[in-house]
Amino acid sequence: MTSGQTEIWHNPRCSKSRTATAHLDETGVAYSVRRYLDDPPTADELREVLRRLDAQPWDITRTGEQIAKDLGMADWGRTPADRDRWIEALAANPQLIQRPIVLTANGGAVVARTEDALRTLG
């Protein structure tokens, strides 16, 4: 993760991710791109992103993906005791991470999938 600069966790094959980068371009926000499928976040990076999002790992998990089904994630607990299991699964399988995630220069973060979320970016 970069410090003091906006960063987008981007999958160029995802239309929501492409829309978010286009929005950042249109609004003139300087940002860096992390292709998180090629450069997966560590468990510690995920913990920091979750802190910035004020979210839990299950909130940013793509549970409809086949790997989530194979792992049986639908049956996993969603308590503080289960948190690390989810984080480790996301770190090992970055395709399960909801996209795009934008880490803002001011220390915030947003899952930029909707128009409302994009508007918070500028």
Residues marked as catalytic: 14
Compute the distance between CA of residue 53 and CA of residue 11 in angstroms, rounded to an integer. Answer: 19
With b for 16 or more beta-carbon neighbours within 10 A and e for fewer, the 49-66 pattern comes to: bbebbeebbeebbeeeee
Q: Which residue has the tokens 């991470």?
A: 97
